[in-house]
Structure 1
Amino acid sequence: MNNRELSKEIIRLTGGQENITQAWHCITRLRFNVREENKVQLEQIRALDGVLGAQFQSDQFQVVIGNKVAAVYEELEDQLKQDGSVKVEAEPQRSRGINAVLDTISGIFTPILPAIVGTGMLKGILALLVTLGAIQETSGEYQILASIANAAFYFLPFLLAVSSARKFKVNEYIALTLAGTLLYPTILNAYLENHLEPIRFLSLPVSIVNYTQSVIPIILGVWLLSYVHRWVDRFIPGPVKVIFTSMIVLVITVPILLIAIGPLGNYIGIYLEIGTSWLFAHSGPLTGIVLGGLMPLIVMTGMHYAFFPGTLQNLSKLGYDVLLLPINLVANMSQAGAVMAVFLKTKDKSMKSIALSSGISAFLGITEPALYGVTLKLKKPFYASIIGGAAGGGFITAVGLKCFGFAVPGLLSLPLYIGPNGGMTNFWYALIGVSISFVVSFTVTLLLKWDEPNTLQAAAASSSGQENAAGSEAPTSTASAKQSDQEVSPPVTVHSIEEKKGEVFSPLTGELVLLKELPDPTFSEEMTGKGIAIYPQEGRVTAPFDGTVTMVAKSKHAIMLTSFNGIDILIHVGLNSVSLKGKFFDTKVVTGQRVSKGELLLEFDIEAIQAAGIDLVTPVIVTNTPDYLDVVPVQVKGVIPMNELLLLTVR
């Protein structure tokens, strides 16, 4: 079926020309407004050769075509004899309940991780150098390095003020001023001098609390600030906003913060410490067994972010963490043990290579490649990693293992388990826990039998054109995807299958979102291919690799590129952003242009697009996914910087 025949069938099964009131297209889909939805034969359209999926969404009927959508629409437009037009759709649903809480925690804590992880590692190295006698605590070198190592935690409210302001969409500099009032000498000196009589503001007592290294008070304060700022801003005339808005907002917010919210947040932190101590005092190894075994699932769902406030609170108040960081360490080593066993046991060259590279990453504390590329795919090694994590978790909680700094839980973080006074007992406990997790997981994986990945069958299937009716999980027909208007390319002959990895780097800076979490089934059901989405923090899109621009949407919201080794990428800025007709977008490249990794492709106005009711979450899709054995996100949660490794394609 060529493009003309396909467009005729789509019109017929949509109820005919008389049932279509509007027709247009975006980067992957034909979009229709129809008079009567019951006349649309949805399943028959989904079954058409050349259609990847179809659905009703908001006030539209959408047919997912993929890369050929412009050519199909050209034929369809000729037959309908009408110009394409657009109707603005409803705003997508926002996260609610526990997902909203986790999204907020992730958005606040992930951006500050480079600072606290970097200084945390320095703290561990200093402890190691002192233990080895390479540096003296009284030396000037130690004092300078120690000030660097402690700075991020001492001034933690400032870091959290910025990330919280970005998450709650309020001015960052006003939020920093809010943090400054918490650490202002008037408050801090009163605490250090042990003033028993509180300072009073309008006869109300201001509690004397040490807010250095605090976590909860500033987050709650910035959250309040966001509401107060929006409320005040409505009443201040435009010409004097810059003068009066921030002043009035601070005069309202700061006293509430110091009188009520700050002390409340301080008590929440205290009870988080008490709760952690109670948990380990009453459950002992059981907590470690459960959390150590389930930690991969907890990380996959993003639930580990729920531990971040308590972890940072414990590090700032107690000086150590006994929950998230130690448990994550043994769980990560358990993943490393499983994939290294796969590396030794598998006869599949592709899987052997993936297992080795992902095993090295797991040793360093990055387990997503191991999880998604090896253990989950083979299943039995994943079960083995759960057993190994549970064994190691049970041991470290039984001995009360402590981590004295924040770092990525891998082998390089082991110096953080040396006691502040140079004691090595806790360090040896960490080594034993790591060894137990690795050895148990490694051994169980070797003992279990799993189905070897049949590379030849996988590649043949990807070129055989098998596709399910919904077009979501089964591979897209390679012949169909490559066909011209009149003929179909000959079937692909597989001469030899060799492992080949292609790298896709992040085209944006922003927060990672799994495709399955998107409200648009076209992306969430992977109709257009596998990948991941990014919620942008700045309005710039850059090239994810060296390659060629193959298509720039007329509405400027989407760009397709092909790398020099054959990876086809779609970068689709926002959901339903085609409705803006190019407004607020500024493309910097044209179709056919060669680009280098990191070269600017597109700029867009984040605030204006959000004000128009468009969800800016941006899918980054490998549209020729069926050409590969798998497309694996390197990480699936948190904030990723531009030009960081984002996806791996494996064939």
Structure 2
Amino acid sequence: MNHRELSKEIIQLTGGQENITQAWHCITRLRFNVREQNKVQLEQIKALDGVLGAQFQNDQFQVVIGNQVAAVYEQIENQMKQSGISRPETDAPRSKGINAVLDTISGIFTPILPAIVGTGMLKGILALLVTLGVIQENSGEYQVLSSIANAAFYFLPFLLALSSARKFKVNEYIALTLAGTLLYPTILNAYLANQLEPIRFLSLPVSIVNYTQSVIPIILGVWLLSYVHRWVDRFIPGPVKVIFTSMIVLVITVPILLIAIGPLGNYMGIYLEMGTSWLFAHSGPLTGIILGGLMPLIVMTGMHYAFFPGTLQNLSKLGYDVLLLPINLITNMSQAGAVTAVFLKTKDKRMRSIALSSGISALLGITEPALYGVTLKLKKPFYASLIGGAAGGGFITAVGLKCFGFAVPGLLSLPLYIGPNGGMSNFWYALIGIGISFSVSFVVTLLLKWDEPNARNSSVSDSIQTLTEKEQDTATAFSQEPVTPVTVHSIEDKKGEVFSPLTGELVPLAELPDQTFAEEMTGKGIAIRPQDGRVTAPFDGTVTLVAKSKHAIMLTSSSGIDILIHVGLNSVSLKGKYFDVKVVAGQEVKKGDLLLEFDMDGIQGAGIDLVTPVIVTNTPDYLDVVPVQVKGVIPMNELLLLTVR
């Protein structure tokens, strides 16, 4: 599926554009705020080719794409712009409590990541070039490149003003003007000149603070701006809004920002720095062990965004980070170690291919393909990666590993661990921490045993026990009577159950005259020759498609089994005559609910063979699809098929 097709499917299955109130993306995930979560078809999105996973976290709907997320998001953005659908935001559900905080932080910091990651990487490359003697710090080349590397952090309030305005739904240009007042030379020059006496505004003191590289003041300022703007805008007549609204809003907001909010935010940043220093001074390795072991879970829930303000504050004020970036580097390498072991140990070709590609991505700092495609799927390697992350995290916090720039935590970010004066001890600590994390995760994964979900055996007997001779004889003897389903052993929780949607005689697909079904081109299953003109739901799930000619229905179970029920062969030629559909696409159904009624005599009178294939259309997702019985008459709602993982 190409990016355009994938984006269309995601939008449709998310409830359509009218259900999406906001969309953005991070390094690997599409992120949505939606009006109604029950309109999002989660399992269908997970099943899309190109989607690694999907989940609701912190009142966000997240679709894990991996390395191609930017290209998919671009197509989503284009389609939403082209539609011209106006989506008023007033009826969008609001997050509450900690979810609201995390949703806000994520929405503000995610859009600016390309700028701070790109310039952060350049900063690391410059440090490496200086250490190798390729470039001199007093050279013109270094000065130009250094200005690029530091620009995003120096003018960080501008970047945060833009993304905060989009998150708080206020005019972006007024927000940028607000940031400009924080960085205006009047205050900045006073700070650089060590001016102790504050500037006075209506006798109130305006603190002399350096807001370059600051994080919290501008976010709080734009948040205040959003409320002031809405309040002022209500009282200004339409013809003069463009003249007076922005002026009044700025005259109200800027003094409050400079007198109260700015200094408050600055002190909050200072205390964040002090809190981080205290944490490492008093608990050191224990903090690293806990965070290193839990970071993959923290990232999965989106809680890592809570560290972003502190991380950027540390980088801007201290010049380095000792928490999020070093810990993430170590845990990313532990994921790489686990999937590398899977690559060497697995016998399944598809899993080997996924492990190889996701292992390379993890080494570069992108772990979602490894996490969702390999370790979580196999479970034991995921546990091994947590152990490796804890081991490496304990070491790097014991030695006080520092990261001197913001970048995706992978091997390419290693130059950021070179000291500002070319010191290499911190760099060697980073390499040792990577080695510990990767090695522990790798070895533990090799020692553990896990089930091969995609390994295919030559016969069904490797997955379930074959029928005993007595059971086979019984089935044959009562071939014209309803038969009791065969007892199935040794499948445990790996089986998915499909119950019979009709009452009728069982017919193997191979015996059908239609080669599409007989050769299992559409998937494995079995056919039923109906004795009753009713079709019911074979499981709890959702109706995904109703044919225009009403002769076929597709459903998806709550566990992800896709079923096609095709009443009659070549029955599409009847153009809906003799069929009465009782459901619509998107409708949720319970096992046994009536889906369709049909006139058996009318259909057979038209020369149509009524034999009805029941097909698992996503057969490749399973180890096998096994009919529980292949002969006899099966009653409606009796166990019909098992999908085996």
TM-score in terms of structure 2 length: 0.61
List aligned pairs for 1:81-230, cutoff 5 A: 91=91, 93-230=93-230
Aligned AA for 2:144? I
Distance 1:215 1:521 in 2: 46
SS class of match (1:205):
strand
- Give the aligned partner of residue 583 of structure 1: none
Structure 1 residue 452 displacement after superposition: 1.3
Distance 1:167 1:380 in 2: 39
Change (3 A) 1:27 1:216: closer
Distance 1:260 1:458 in 2: 73
Alignment counterpart, residue 618 of structure 2, candidates 620, 626, 639: 626
Distance 1:357 1:222 in 2: 42
List aligned pairs for 1:264-275, cutoff 5 A: 264-275=264-275
Distance 2:290 2:43 in 1: 45
Distance 1:352 1:152 in 2: 40
Runs ≥4 residues deviating over 6 A: 26-30, 60-67, 457-461, 475-480, 494-497, 520-523, 525-530
Distance 1:289 1:66 in 2: 37
SS class of match (2:200):
strand
SS class of match (1:438):
helix
SS class of match (2:295):
helix
Q: For the Cα contact (< 8 Å) 1:479–1:489, is it kept in 2? A: no
- Give the aligned partner of residue 240 of structure 1: 240
Distance 2:122 2:368 in 1: 25
Structure 1 residue 98 displacement after superposition: 1.0
Structure 1 residue 455 displacement after superposition: 4.3
Larger Rg: 2
SS class of match (1:232):
helix
- Give the aligned partner of residue 316 of structure 1: 316
Q: For the Cα contact (< 8 Å) 1:29–1:62, is it kept in 2? A: yes
Provide the aligned length of Structure 1 versus Structure 2: 428
Structure 1 residue 488 displacement after superposition: 12
Q: For the Cα contact (< 8 Å) 2:175–2:225, is it kept in 1? A: yes
Change (3 A) 1:233 1:293: same
Distance 2:282 2:209 in 1: 30
Q: For the Cα contact (< 8 Å) 2:286–2:394, is it kept in 1? A: yes
- Give the aligned partner of residue 346 of structure 2: 346
Q: Deviations over 1:142-165 (max 9, x none)?
A: 000000000000000000000000
Q: For the Cα contact (< 8 Å) 2:315–2:404, is it kept in 1? A: yes
SS class of match (1:449):
coil
Q: For the Cα contact (< 8 Å) 2:381–2:445, is it kept in 1? A: yes
Change (3 A) 1:388 1:66: closer
Aligned AA for 2:290? V
Aligned AA for 1:129? L
- RCO higher in structure (CA 8 A, sep ≥6): 1
- Give the aligned partner of residue 517 of structure 2: 490
When the two chains are superposed, the root-mean-square deviation of aligned CA atoms in Å is 4.0
Distance 1:459 1:104 in 2: 53
Q: For the Cα contact (< 8 Å) 1:28–1:65, is it kept in 2? A: no
Aligned AA for 2:517? P
Q: Deviations over 1:207-238 (max 9, x none)?
A: 00000000000000000000000000000111
Q: Deviations over 1:563-618 (max 9, x none)?
A: xxxxxxx9x9xxxxxxxxxxxxxxxxxxxxxxxxxxxxxxxxxxxxxxxxxxxxxx
- Give the aligned partner of residue 372 of structure 1: 372
SS class of match (2:321):
coil
- Give the aligned partner of residue 576 of structure 1: none
- Give the aligned partner of residue 449 of structure 2: 449
SS class of match (1:490):
helix
Change (3 A) 1:489 1:477: farther
Change (3 A) 1:208 1:29: closer
Aligned AA for 1:442? F
Structure 1 residue 97 displacement after superposition: 1.2
Change (3 A) 1:412 1:63: closer
Q: For the Cα contact (< 8 Å) 2:273–2:310, is it kept in 1? A: yes
Distance 1:209 1:276 in 2: 22
SS class of match (1:361):
helix
- Give the aligned partner of residue 408 of structure 2: 408
Change (3 A) 1:157 1:475: farther
Distance 1:266 1:284 in 2: 26
Distance 1:241 1:306 in 2: 37
List aligned pairs for 1:466-545, cutoff 5 A: 490=517, 493=520
Distance 2:42 2:335 in 1: 38
Change (3 A) 1:247 1:340: same
Aligned AA for 2:295? M
Structure 1 residue 496 displacement after superposition: 12
Change (3 A) 1:309 1:339: same
- Could you list the runs of 5+ residues in structure 1 that have no partner in the other structure? 1-25, 31-56, 68-87, 462-472, 498-519, 531-569, 573-623, 631-650
Q: Deviations over 1:495-538 (max 9, x none)?
A: 999xxxxxxxxxxxxxxxxxxxxxx9999x986998xxxxxxxx
Change (3 A) 1:253 1:390: same
SS class of match (2:234):
helix
List aligned pairs for 1:601-616, cutoff 5 A: none
- Give the aligned partner of residue 231 of structure 1: 231
Distance 2:242 2:167 in 1: 22
